[in-house]
């Protein structure tokens, strides 16, 4: 630790000053457990400065002073609660004094204004920000008195180091290339401000991948309102949830964790839909779906997106038998067309006709609980 006014600091600042006309001048720090401590009760105050020769931070100073030497300039900054760096003149002016600008911010917050100068040197305060920890054009915000920092990320990025690119959904991620593995990713279907971005599990392998996995459950689920990912309930365990309300999709996958069987359904229509705004619609809103995987392909399928007291969640079921004489019937969230024959893919409903979970079996009946996951793309 170097006290302001101690012999070490005097010497180094003196050194800096004396050498200031030499051409080469690298960063130099004073040791210390913290980089900045302003005056407290006991009067202890110091800062570890780094010198940037013939550079200046071109922002409006808090105060401009004339001082006898650099040490006095640094001391004024430590004493001023809003000062985070200084510009000081490389040359004395007529009165034999040095111009000293106390600045309200630092070179990290204003990197575009940190410029070459023929008349100034710049003193910054030591911080972990000097190792450029923030990626993807993120701004490092130094917390000098804690020797800490955080990264203010540029649009499109998130994470401690802004290392995470934000995507609309898992299919968007898939389109960036095949190197993304199954796992948790930050999604922000509406982009813009990332305050509403969230973590979701992306299945990047099943049927070419790109599935945003919405929930895992062995019984009930409420995708409209159960939208918060809890790291203690990871994907594949009962209780995994994320926010699928804004995910645009034309395909839906059901994964049966007992057998590992998977079925997915593709909308014959071209327009993608999203759950938000579509809860409770009759199935003819979305037309017919083709099934692939472990299901009976004698059927065409239909989709419901529900949030009522009887049934909540996605539900895919058969539309009709291939026998043309057996007319199909589009279901509603609480009217399943008396369909006691076709395969259903659903979680639990409230009522003796819909207990338990159906995966590729008729679901207009009471079934056992069964762990399944549902995803969209």
CB of 91 to ligand NAG, least distance (A): 28
CB 301 within 8 A of CB 290: yes
CA 348 to chain centre: 32
Q: Which stretch binds ligand NAG (CB under 6 A): 48-56, 129-137, 162-170, 255-263?
A: 255-263
DSSP letter string, 124-167: EE--GGGG----TTPEEEEEGGGTEEEEEPPTTEESTTS-EEPB
Of the pair 58, 250, the CB lying nearest ligand NAG is at 58
Helices (H), the chain: 7-18, 70-79, 170-175
Taking the C-alpha atoms of residue 319 and residue 297, their distance in angstroms, rounded to an integer, is 11
Contact 78, 38 (CB under 8 A): yes
Q: Does 141 bind ligand NAG (CB under 6 A)?
A: yes
Under the binding rule (CB under 6 A), the answer on residue 217 touching ligand NAG is no
Out of 162, 248, 359, 372, point to the residue binding ligand NAG (CB under 6 A).
359
Is 109 near ligand NAG (CB under 6 A)? yes
Asked if 48 interacts with ligand NAG (CB under 6 A), we say: no
Binding mask 321-340 for ligand NAG (x = CB under 6 A): --------------------
Q: Which of 49, 84, 120, 235 binds ligand NAG (CB under 6 A)?
A: 84
Distance CA 128, CA 146 (A): 10
In angstroms, the Cα distances linking 329 to 206, 270, 288, 334, 349 are 30, 22, 11, 14, 20
Q: How many CB atoms lie within 10 A of CB 58?
A: 14
Given a contact cutoff of 8 angstroms between Cβ atoms, the answer to whether 197 and 159 are in contact is no
Figure out which of the listed residues 172, 251, 256, 339 binds ligand NAG, where binding follows CB under 6 A: 256
Minimal distance in Å, beta carbon 183 to ligand NAG? 25
Q: Which residues contact 198 (CB under 8 A, 6 or more apart)?
A: 186, 187, 188, 227, 228, 229, 242, 243
139, 151 Cβ separation under 8 angstroms? yes
CA dihedral 160, 163, 168, 171 (to 10 degrees): -130
Q: Which stretch binds ligand NAG (CB under 6 A): 9-17, 201-209, 275-283, 307-315?
A: 307-315
CB of 244 to ligand NAG, least distance (A): 16
Nearer to ligand NAG, 36 or 99 (CB): 36
Closest CA to 213 of 180, 248, 252, 175: 252
Please work out the total of residues on this chain that contact ligand NAG, with binding judged by CB under 6 A: 18
Contact between 58 and ligand NAG (CB under 6 A)?
no
Q: How far is the CB of 258 from ligand NAG (least distance, A)?
A: 7
Least distance in Å: CB of 26 to ligand NAG?
A: 23
Instruction: Report the distance separating Cα 350 and Cα 5, nearest Å.
Output: 76
Q: What angle do CA 244, 249, 253 make, to 5 degrees?
A: 80
Q: Is 201 in the site for ligand NAG (CB under 6 A)?
A: no
Q: Taking the mean position of all CA atoms in its chain, how far away is CA 252?
A: 24
Pick from 250, 261, 281, 369 the residue near ligand NAG by CB under 6 A: 261
> Quick one: DSSP state of residue 249?
B
Part in contact with ligand NAG (CB under 6 A); list of ranges 28-36, 121-129, 174-182, 304-312: 304-312
CB nearer ligand NAG, residue 149 or residue 185: 149
In the stretch 143-162, what mask flags binding to ligand NAG with x, by CB under 6 A?
---------x----------
- DSSP character for 48? -
Query: Minimum distance from CB of 332 to ligand NAG (Å)?
Result: 14
Interaction of residue 294 with ligand NAG, rule CB under 6 A: yes
One residue of 48, 242, 312, 373 binding ligand NAG per CB under 6 A: 312
Selected from 155, 298, 309, 326, the binder of ligand NAG by CB under 6 A is: 309
Asked if 355 is part of the footprint of ligand NAG (rule: CB under 6 A), the reply reads: no
Chain residues in the site for ligand NAG (CB under 6 A): 84, 105-106, 109, 141-142, 152, 220, 256, 259, 261, 294, 309, 311-312, 350, 359-360
């Amino acid at each position: 630790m170097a006290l302001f006014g101690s012999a070490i600091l005097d010497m180094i600042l003196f050194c800096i000053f004396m050498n200031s006309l030499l051409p080469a001048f690298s960063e130099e720090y004073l040791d210390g457990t913290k980089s900045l401590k302003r005056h407290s009760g006991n009067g202890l105050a110091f800062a570890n400065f780094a010198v940037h020769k013939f550079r200046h931070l071109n922002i409006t100073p808090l105060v401009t002073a004339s001082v006898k030497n650099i040490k006095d300039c640094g001391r004024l900054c430590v004493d001023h609660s809003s000062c985070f760096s200084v510009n000081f003149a490389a040359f004395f002016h007529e009165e034999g004094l040095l111009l000293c600008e106390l600045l309200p911010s630092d070179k990290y917050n204003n990197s575009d204004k940190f410029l070459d100068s023929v008349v100034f040197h710049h003193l910054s305060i030591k911080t972990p920000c000097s190792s450029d920890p923030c990626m993807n054009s993120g701004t490092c915000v130094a917390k000098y008195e804690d020797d800490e920092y955080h990264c203010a990320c540029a649009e499109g990025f998130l994470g401690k180091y802004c290392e995470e690119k934000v995507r609309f959904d898992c299919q968007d991620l898939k389109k960036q290339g095949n190197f993304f593995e199954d796992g948790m990713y930050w999604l922000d279907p509406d982009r813009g401000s990332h305050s509403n971005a969230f973590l979701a599990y992306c299945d990047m392998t099943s049927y070419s991948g790109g599935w945003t996995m919405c929930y895992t459950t062995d019984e009930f689920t409420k995708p409209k309102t159960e939208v918060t990912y809890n790291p203690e309930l990871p994907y594949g365990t009962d209780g995994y949830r994320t926010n699928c309300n804004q995910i645009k999709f034309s395909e839906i996958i059901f994964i049966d964790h007992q057998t590992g069987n998977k079925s997915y359904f593709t909308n014959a229509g071209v327009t993608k839909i999203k759950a938000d705004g579509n809860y409770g619609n009759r199935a003819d809103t979305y037309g017919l779906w083709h099934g692939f995987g472990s299901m009976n392909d004698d059927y065409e399928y239909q989709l419901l997106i529900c949030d009522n007291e009887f049934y909540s969640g996605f539900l895919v079921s058969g539309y009709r038998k291939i026998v043309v004489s057996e007319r199909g019937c589009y279901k509603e969230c609480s009217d399943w067309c008396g369909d006691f024959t076709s395969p259903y893919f659903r979680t639990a409903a409230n009522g003796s006709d819909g207990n338990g979970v159906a995966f590729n079996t008729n679901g207009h009946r009471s079934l056992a609980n069964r762990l399944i996951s549902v995803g969209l793309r």
